[in-house]
Structure 1
């Protein structure tokens, strides 16, 4: 749709609806580099479309093409096999990184232009956390938080660089890996919040725990953000500010989420020296990115209950709940 007036431009039929106790899919944000847009269904259907026309360029099906397993909510399965593929792909130049979750194809790298496989790596089942491409210890790599734990593979060929085993019931690893210098920070309601430092040792890379916090300070399925030397995240029903280098708590704030601790959600966006937070009941909250104390600068009700991450660009904020899509002009 057009950003200015919501006029429809094109549409794509991606897949049949995914249904379980947490509502219908899809659960992945569309991913675009300005030329293409990638859409991924809960059942593992991946479409690559031309951004301007909406024409299908190529498609993949994780079950048919990579041997992944999709059972659904009632099955005895882990991660994406149970609640669907929620990990959005990552575009890096002409490469598309996706968590297909198949044997020998846990992580796949595809050609952006034609969908051909460049490399396949690992046996990891997909969890719910998206892959990222980053540079750690001087080596460009793909970092993933899979059902088995935290893993880094070479961006060029998919070769395993390092692995840290982590386990959560039903493979419930949801938050995106957060990068601070050469550290990768992840967490779950059972693992706690953990920072892993990646360093060179001879010709190899080693990954070792730098610090770890308990379950009471760990995110469930709301991804933290890092601004400067500080992490901002939601743990249980508290917003926390944590020193990214040491793991030391700077401050905590109650009252910004309304639902139960097990289902509490908030999406964070960093805006220069402030943090924008959309909570699970549709309140948009602004507070200063200040490790000294929590300083709220604004709060407004913008939508209904939701677990959707907003999108921000050039002063426009896009928010959706189960009934509508809203565009807010923050410049005005």
Structure 2
């Protein structure tokens, strides 16, 4: 294990097995975002990957079967969006891009589908021809606290709205304000609220803003290389080595960042194809897991000594390559939808592949509990899968959409599905 000065890039050292000290650390509570600021409302899926940004809910929130158990409560026809719907205080919020020129945000009553408000503004990005099949509509998933709904548009403009009325509170145009380039594929990263602050990976640096008025408080992790601008990942918060910090993935590096100053605490280069580091980092105690397109699956242990020196230790590394789907962790197993379109169950302890499934779609969004998880692929197939570390067990499967790249959301006993042409809310019984 190599000691690292504060705010410097780490050097890997390889280990084949975990320390015995950490072998027992496998509870779901330790998975991610310790002390998450938005976790107080347990039933609200109010941000990217849910209340703790880890895709995990209690077992009472997931159905035990799908066929004959999902009832469509309501649906609304909409223009395209890749943004996941979010739910807060009985309202569901969704985005859309209209006629490749306008971005719209709409709030519905989650139970009845009644329209509460809708607002829109000019905003669009033309995606390069080689990536045109991925669409040119809004991508970032909003985040909603009690008094603020934050929406990041394709042109890297962050807008704060009143969740009750849709009234605009403030906006920050990052390219105009800090001189960063317009993201080639449109802004992707989903903003994060913590107390009175907002954290967002822009088309340039990681930024901290005031939630009250959008004032930029610091900028960090800026890379002058235009080719690598615009993070594909989204930040999370975790307590690692007793220090609460942001955990972020740039196009090149996995990083821990001081939340007050913006200073990098530790940094680790991540191998990938053209900077396609897309996963939200998964934090398990003092360990961080990630995987990348044309890279590797890697588990790191992060530590800090009494003098403030940080260390990064690569505990294991293996061949599984992720693509766009962030994994979930249940028990001592990482469930990762890989670039080869198969679900892979990886051992937390040593990275061993416990099993590999048959091929599915290109993208999965997953919500897990103690013993099972839901997975929605881009074709609209919803799967219910057992959290079994010995074999792939599909409990049930049901078609809920036609073309869905937005993250699945859940609100009590309701599933919220956003496909390219509609928002749908299903009700289920346990």
CA distance in 2, matches of 1:237, 1:169: 17
Q: Which residues in structure 2 correspond to 1:1-332 (within 5 Å)?
A: 1-20=108-127, 21=132, 22-70=134-182, 81-102=183-204, 106-124=205-223, 125-201=229-305, 202-214=307-319, 217-235=320-338, 236-255=340-359, 257-258=360-361, 264-331=362-429
CA distance in 1, matches of 2:197, 2:330: 27
The alpha-carbon deviation at position 221 of structure 1 amounts to 0.6
SS state of the match for residue 374, structure 2?
Answer: strand
CA distance in 2, matches of 1:32, 1:213: 37
Alignment: residue pair count: 311
SS state of the match for residue 415, structure 2?
Answer: strand
The alpha-carbon deviation at position 10 of structure 1 amounts to 1.3
SS state of the match for residue 168, structure 1?
Answer: coil
The alpha-carbon deviation at position 54 of structure 1 amounts to 1.0
Structure 1: unaligned runs, 5 residues or longer: 71-80, 259-263
CA contact (8 A) 1:101 1:123 kept: no
CA distance in 2, matches of 1:206, 1:93: 29
CA distance in 2, matches of 1:315, 1:47: 30
Give 1:74's aligned residue.
none
CA contact (8 A) 1:180 1:244 kept: no
SS state of the match for residue 10, structure 1?
Answer: strand
CA distance in 1, matches of 2:400, 2:126: 27
Post-superposition CA distance 1:258-282 (Å, at most 9, x none): 4xxxxx1111111332110011211
SS state of the match for residue 345, structure 2?
Answer: strand
Of stretches 168-177 and 91-100 in structure 1, the one that deviates more from structure 2 is 168-177
Of stretches 25-34 and 13-22 in structure 1, the one that deviates more from structure 2 is 13-22
CA contact (8 A) 1:44 1:61 kept: yes
Post-superposition CA distance 1:238-270 (Å, at most 9, x none): 111111232111111114x14xxxxx1111111
CA distance in 1, matches of 2:180, 2:243: 29
CA distance in 1, matches of 2:203, 2:167: 27
CA contact (8 A) 2:189 2:202 kept: no
Of stretches 114-123 and 86-95 in structure 1, the one that deviates more from structure 2 is 114-123
CA distance in 1, matches of 2:124, 2:236: 27
CA contact (8 A) 2:202 2:231 kept: no
CA contact (8 A) 1:44 1:100 kept: yes
Q: Which has the higher contact order (CA 8 A, sep 6+)?
A: 2
CA contact (8 A) 1:288 1:297 kept: yes
Of stretches 187-196 and 51-60 in structure 1, the one that deviates more from structure 2 is 187-196
CA distance in 2, matches of 1:193, 1:224: 11
Post-superposition CA distance 1:216-249 (Å, at most 9, x none): x221011111122211111112111111232111
RMSD, matched Cα: 1.5
CA contact (8 A) 2:248 2:256 kept: yes
